[in-house]
Structure 1
Amino acid sequence: MCVTAPSCPTATRLYENGKVIATDFGYDEIAGQLDEHPGAVLWLDLFDPDGDDLASVAKQFDLHPLAVEDAMTDHERPKLDRYPHHVFLNVYAVDLATKDSETRFGKTEISVFVTNRALITVRKSPSDTQRLIDRWDSDADLCSAGGVGFLLWGLLDVVVDGQYAVTQRLDAGMDMVEDALLEEGGAPRVVRMKAVKERKLLAALRRAVSPMPELVAQSMRSDLALVDDKLRPYFRDVEDHAQHTVDEIEHLRDRIDSLLEADNSEQSNVLNNTTRKLAAWAAIVAVPTAVTGYFGQNVPYPGYDQWWGFLVSSATIVVVSLLLYLYLKRRGWL
């Protein structure tokens, strides 16, 4: 069969009986390799393919048009769909990077076609596939029994491990935020904004992670025939890790919400104390003001009936008001 090779970057590996028997061969060699090794399974990776690239692959591997459309669409939700000749999955590999003291969340959308003898991955942004290769090569003996299900297990395991690692990093970062938020008098605004940003990161991570336990569970369905008895414990282990990651994220969300609420309460207490002090001083000042106002007392002051007396009193008002403004500004009341 004449095939048109995709123009996008590709990667290939062929596994048979727990060994890598071919790697980095051309797309036009795939059919020959599969015919020559009837017991082998293929990994084909496509980086940022266009419509023509996927159309060529779909024709060769009999991929469903709806699945191809999902693979071409950005920001699809994590899911698993079954089609007549293959299974389609959409997952997200996530990571955290720190630049200029700012934590940035990144995710790579990966669409996956699982056929009887091939695992085809479609990546829409750059990501490290070496971790995936290392996972397969370190446990390649499972391939002899698991076939293409082994490749799917390695992919899901790497994705879930990455999601858990990001969750752990956010948990560690939360410790520093917690110490700052629980300081007496309330946290500075920059700390509160950092906590709000952490909550946004958790929300983005939750959207990528929360469907994973159900997705892994669906991949073990007997009617899909992807997971045999030897692989099933490994898939259950991935499912357990995925559920643990979801639980950690929910715990972190509750934790940061509680911290922000505690900080708001602390700031309210400080504001109440300040208001009470100001009210007390206002009451003290009001007494002599009321008495002197009632009796119309107007006591002569230095410079009374002199032109320079007006300047002294005006300057005193300006200077005292300015000093009071600077004091209140320094205390953060203005």
Structure 2
Amino acid sequence: MLAMPSLVDARAWRDGRPAPLPEDPQSLRAALQDPHLLVWLDLLRPSVAELTQLADYCDLGPTVVEDALEPHERPKVTRHGGHLFFSTYLTDLVELPPDANRGRLVTHRVSGIVLPMALITVRLDEASTLDAVVARWEDDPDLLRLGSGALVHGLLDYAVDGHFETIQELDDEIEALADVLFEERRTGADFLRRVYGLRRDLVALRRMVLPMREVVSALLRHRTRDATALDSWYDDLYDHVLRAAEWTESLRDMMTSVFETNLSLQDARLNTIMKQLSGWAAIIAVPTAITGWFGQNIPFPGYNQPLGLLVSASLVLVGSLVLYLVFRARDWL
């Protein structure tokens, strides 16, 4: 392996089969110009000096260093002389405590420098492992014969598959929230915290998924070697990217519907509570009025007699029962 501290993996394939990679950094330029040798270099958190040195070895433009190390770069593809630079994001959802004030979505940026027969990937954190991508590459030796475009396709296909898994998990959570909407006494502070967390995750995921259409389209436009053989693979990848983008947009609309429906249901429940309170207040007003009337300090029919108590109690019961039945019939109680 080349003597670079940030170089965590390096592989080569000749005609689709594993081949040795030169150990001498000075031989790297010749290896990258071999039309039958496919090379992959994987860098983890390289320094500016290391990336500048590699750019000199590979005749890369000076803007590569800035693009590869920019921490907040969006998914994109740019052309620099004889090579392409692209960036994409791997996505994942992590478990958080119920009182967490941040979203579950975690993103890992992977940048790539595409040469005719080489791919150099630059990662900024250890969590974005590419072991599964390497397994995909080596499972199809025939595809590796088509050059660096096959490596780029495998990497982007893996990233898009991860997007689909993340979208599916978010879809399941949103459906669970929709089920909770119509359950009584379940849409409290915890529910709102989950809603805002999901909305934050969807906004962040949308920034990762939607630009992938431009990434794949640009790679299709700039393909240079064995383009016809890889067209069907990239067309399929582009279809997956479109589906992921449309699914993300539909989840965004669904999340908005959940939020608005929750507000509407809260208003409806508040109106129901107000009707019930008004009904009970009207019922309570009957005995209040009767007992207040009979409590005056003046003689009245039945005053200071058992008949007066019976009449007042009967009026309280009958009046309250009549109002209760009327309100019940009109669905106020």
Same fold? TM cut 0.5: yes
SS in 2 for 1:77: coil
> Which residue of 1 is the match for residue 54 of structure 2?
57
Say if 1:13 and 1:22, in contact at 8 Å, map to a contact too: yes
Sort the Cα spacing of 1:265 and 1:88 in 2 relative to 1 into closer, same or farther, 3 A. same
SS in 2 for 1:230: helix
Does residue 19 (structure 1) correspond to residue 1 (structure 2)? The answer is: no
Letter in 2 for 1:130: D
> Which residue of 2 is the match for residue 97 of structure 1?
94
Aligned residue runs from structure 1 range 24-35, under 5 A? 26=23, 28=25, 31=28, 34=31
Cα deviation 1:176-215 (Å, max 9, x = unaligned): 2221123246623312321221121111111111110221
| Percent identity of paired positions between Structure 1 and Structure 2 | 35
> Which residue of 1 is the match for residue 4 of structure 2?
6
> Which residue of 2 is the match for residue 88 of structure 1?
85
Does residue 134 (structure 1) correspond to residue 139 (structure 2)? The answer is: no
Letter in 2 for 1:196: Y
> Which residue of 1 is the match for residue 202 of structure 2?
202
Q: CA deviation at 1:6?
A: 2.9
Say if 1:9 and 1:47, in contact at 8 Å, map to a contact too: yes
Tell me the distance in 1 between the aligned counterparts of 2:173 and 2:215.
29
In the superposition, the TM-score normalised over structure 1's length comes to 0.79
> Which residue of 2 is the match for residue 244 of structure 1?
243
Tell me the distance in 2 between the aligned counterparts of 1:168 and 1:289.
59
Cα deviation 1:26-68 (Å, max 9, x = unaligned): 4637528717954111100100011111111111111112222
Aligned residue runs from structure 1 range 124-203, under 5 A? 124-126=124-126, 127-144=128-145, 146-184=146-184, 187-203=187-203
Structure 1, unmatched stretches of 5+, are 300-334
Structure 2, unmatched stretches of 5+, are 299-333
Does residue 271 (structure 1) correspond to residue 304 (structure 2)? The answer is: no
Tell me the distance in 1 between the aligned counterparts of 2:38 and 2:170.
37
Q: CA deviation at 1:242?
A: 0.9
Say if 1:220 and 1:226, in contact at 8 Å, map to a contact too: no
Aligned residue runs from structure 1 range 205-224, under 5 A? 205-221=205-221, 223-224=222-223
Q: Find runs of 4+ consecutive structure 1 residues off by over 6 angstroms.
A: 287-296
Tell me the distance in 1 between the aligned counterparts of 2:24 and 2:167.
37
> Which residue of 2 is the match for residue 68 of structure 1?
65
Say if 1:11 and 1:45, in contact at 8 Å, map to a contact too: yes
Moved more, 245-254 or 178-187: 178-187
Tell me the distance in 1 between the aligned counterparts of 2:64 and 2:32.
26
Q: CA deviation at 1:251?
A: 1.1
Letter in 2 for 1:169: E
Letter in 1 for 2:70: T
In the superposition, the TM-score normalised over structure 2's length comes to 0.79
Q: CA deviation at 1:278?
A: 2.0
Q: CA RMSD in A?
A: 2.8
Tell me the distance in 1 between the aligned counterparts of 2:205 and 2:106.
9
